[in-house]
Amino acid sequence: MELLKQIFVEPFEVMYALPDLLLQTLWEGFVSGTLYSLIALGFVLIFKASGVFNFAQGIMVVFAALTLVGIHAFGVPAFLAVILTLGVMALLAFTVVRVVMKPLVNQPDIILFMSTIGITFILIAGGQLIFGGEPKAMITEELGLPTGASDWEVGGGIVIFQHIDIAAAVIAALLIAGLALFFNKTKTGRALRAVADDHQAALSVGISLEYIWVVVWFAAGVVALTAGILWAAKSDVSFALQVVALKALPVLVLGGFTSIPGAIVGGLIIGFGEKLFDLYWGVPILGGGTESWFAFIIALLFLLYRPEGLFGEKLIERI
């Protein structure tokens, strides 16, 4: 009885009593949700176009952020460093396609998946070799990202909005809108969706798979860089960040592996869900620490009852 009350009554009493706390939690959930979405988006891009589950997406986030900070440390201005980092990501995309994807094309999925684990380790080792393993501070101010915070008074308390969080949400939204435009309005975007649908047919109409793969790996690199900058601005640039990327897995299960809107909505659900659950149910009932596993439980439930995710493309089948 006590437990039922703890589950169904008390959390809502607390929400009602302290609206500022609720709003604060929602906001934090929203911000981490957008970042999960960004990371998941990187997975979706590559998975859609090449059917490869790119395990290295998480480390790409770290690698991109690390490269940016590393290049800046050589005294390159921040703006130029971003451009150079984009160049590095393009080079990475090209190399991965040439060295890994092309020779392994038509191999079973699991082999390609294993190869992306290989890429993960190469990036970890390469990153440490070139830039060192110790955590570094993100060059937030140099990039012109806002710092500081605004307060907002609600119902007797205050909600704090970190400016960097606001910027993160806006930038993520812009990036996603840009990608959506690219997919739907450009020739390359159309070719990309064609490849995602049927790569044999795409080949037959003269679409070069290699080129399309480079484009998506680069797009995933851009997404990774953005996610890396925004995430590291809140903490540090370190290899521990890739653990955050693992949170993208439940997001993918939730949203569907092939759906861009799914990645966004899934990210937000996980973001909101884990913050709310931890504060209102996790801490009082389980003693806290639920944030690290909450998403995976949700993913498990989805796998059991709706394996294609919220927005996953069901096979179009005519009977």
Partner 1 sequence: MSVAENLKPETAETILSVNNIEVIYNHVILVLKGVSLTVPKGGIVALLGANGAGKTTTLRAVSNLLRGERGEVTKGNIIFNGDEIQDLTPNELVQRGCIQVMEGRHCFGHLSIEENLMTGAYTRKDGAAAVKDHLDLVYQYFPRLKERRKSQAGYTSGGEQQMCAIGRALMSKPSMILLDEPSMGLAPQLVEEIFEIVRDLNQKENVSFLLAEQNTNIALKYATYGYILESGRVVMDGDAKELRENEDVKEFYLGTGGEGRKSFKDVKHYRRRKRWLA
Closer CB to partner 1, 190 or 306, in the complex = 190
Query: Which member of 95, 147, 150, 208 binds partner 1 (CB under 8 A)?
Result: 208
Q: Is 251 in the site for partner 1 (CB under 8 A)?
A: no
Q: Is 310 in the site for partner 1 (CB under 8 A)?
A: no
Q: Is 141 in the site for partner 1 (CB under 8 A)?
A: no
Which parts of 151-235 fold into alpha helices (H)?
163-185, 187-197, 199-204, 209-234
Site for partner 1 in 270-289 (CB under 8 A): none
Query: Which member of 78, 126, 146, 193 binds partner 1 (CB under 8 A)?
Result: 193
Query: Which member of 9, 203, 286, 301 binds partner 1 (CB under 8 A)?
Result: 203
Fill in the DSSP letter of residue 90. Answer: H
Q: Least distance in Å: CB of 251 to partner 1?
A: 22
Which parts of the chain fold into alpha helices (H)?
2-8, 10-17, 19-50, 57-73, 78-96, 102-104, 109-131, 163-185, 187-197, 199-204, 209-234, 241-246, 248-255, 260-277, 291-305
CA atoms within 13 A on the CB side of 23: 15
Q: Least distance in Å: CB of 194 to partner 1?
A: 5
Nearest of 317, 284, 318, 302 to residue 3 by alpha carbon: 284
Residue 256 and residue 262 in contact, taking contact as beta carbons nearer than 8 Å: yes
Q: Least distance in Å: CB of 262 to partner 1?
A: 14
Q: Is 205 in the site for partner 1 (CB under 8 A)?
A: yes
Closer CB to partner 1, 291 or 308, in the complex = 308
CA atoms within 13 A on the CB side of 91: 8
* 21 to 60: interface string for partner 1, x by CB under 8 A: ----------------------------------------
Three-state secondary structure call for residue 154: strand
* 56 to 95: interface string for partner 1, x by CB under 8 A: ----------------------------------------
Query: Which member of 21, 88, 171, 194 binds partner 1 (CB under 8 A)?
Result: 194
The pair of structure tokens assigned to 194 is 């064609």
Closer CB to partner 1, 102 or 163, in the complex = 102
Angstrom distance (rounded) from CA 316 to CA 113: 26
Tally Cβ neighbours within 10 Å of residue 162.
18
Residues in the chain: 319
Q: Is 216 in the site for partner 1 (CB under 8 A)?
A: no
What residue ranges bind partner 1 (CB under 8 A)? Answer: 105-106, 187, 190-191, 193-194, 196-208, 313, 316, 318
